[in-house]
Amino acid sequence: MPSSRPIGVGPTLLALIAVTGIAERLPAQVRTTVRDRVQQEQQPPRPAAYSVIDGVVTDTLLQPIAAADISVVGTGARVVTGENGRFRMLQVPAGQYLLVVRRIGFSPTSGIIEVPSNDTVRLAYALNRSGSLLDTVRIRERRVSIRMLEFEKRRQQAVGQFVTQEEIERRGSMQVSDFLRNMRGLEVSRVTTQQFAGTQVYSRREGGGFTEQMQQNFCAMQVILDGIILPRNFNLDLLPPPKQVAGIEVYSGAATIPPQFGGPDRRCGVVAVWTREGY
């Protein structure tokens, strides 16, 4: 006679029912195939957020200067001002740059700019009139040879310290500052403070290096690029790469500086960098 008792449910079946109930409440699993992964990786990157440099060049009387040359050091970027003295550079990546402004009949000037992302930087430069007519030389090859001929004359006098183009090519360094690290009487330091971040060079003869506690006593050497005086406390990282440099000369004290590099506040010496093409 069959039993009237209900059929019992074993523990294995109960566990299966419980798991099934949980699975029904969970969302369906998202599966990614190899094909989907490849397609995702092949998606074109988002366009970079470029900026714009908008500027004007005038004389000291604020009269616009046409045909002034504006160069971004270390890059091939160059523009020329229009009749109204204005210039414009498009698609500029964010970062720090060194600009050189030149015009025949005027003393060149330079400036360091910070370009934020996706913004417009507005600049204004005023050039002083100059009595020098050397810039009227039109042939670049001749102009470069004249500059380097003077470089060789000073090198033969053996007053300062020099690095020739042949030495630069032989060493193959990545930064101009690499050639200064082993020179006598110099100290090259990487500086990071709230006001400054970069590489600087100073003369040991003037005593002391750079620390946050000694900022007021810090005395950086004057850096000159193709005869253009660069801003004080200059960041060497903004100089052109060595492959663009034709020569470097260093005078670690005021007593050894040649007259053409003279000027106010040269007690800490001069670093002169000459490029192959010229700025």
Residue ranges making up the domain that contains 225: 137-275
Tokens describing residue 235 = 């960041």
pLDDT at 19 over 60: no
Q: Is the dihedral of CA 204, 216, 236, 60 positive or negative?
A: negative
> Number of helices and strands (H, E) in the chain?
4, 14
- What digits encode the pLDDT tens for the residues 113-139? 999 999 999 999 999 998 754 444 444
**Looking at residue 213, which CATH number applies to its domain?**
2.170.130.10
Determine the Cα angle at 120 with ends 119 and 123, to 5°.
Answer: 145
User: Do 226 and 158 fall into the same domain?
Assistant: yes
User: Do 141 and 123 fall into the same domain?
Assistant: no
**CA–CA separation, 3 vs 201, rounded Å?**
101
**CA–CA separation, 190 vs 179, rounded Å?**
15
In a domain? residue 82: yes
The type of residue at 192 is T
The type of residue at 53 is I
Q: List, in order, residues 6 or more apart from 149 with CB less than 8 Å away.
A: none
Assess contact for 236 and 198: CB atoms under 8 A: yes
Q: What's the structural domain count of the chain?
A: 2
Q: Phi and psi at residue 190, in whole multiples of 5°?
A: -90, 120
- How many Å is the Cα radius of gyration of the chain? 32
**Looking at residue 115, which CATH number applies to its domain?**
2.60.40.1120
pLDDT of residue 252: 87
**CA–CA separation, 71 vs 55, rounded Å?**
13
**Cα 194 versus chain centre, distance:** 18
Show the DSSP H helices in the chain as ranges.
11-25, 34-41, 140-156, 165-171
pLDDT of residue 212: 47
- What digits encode the pLDDT tens for the residues 209-256? 444 444 444 578 999 999 999 998 899 999 999 999 999 999 988 888
Task: Answer with the one of 69, 101, 127 that is the final residue of a domain.
Answer: 127
User: Do 118 and 144 fall into the same domain?
Assistant: no
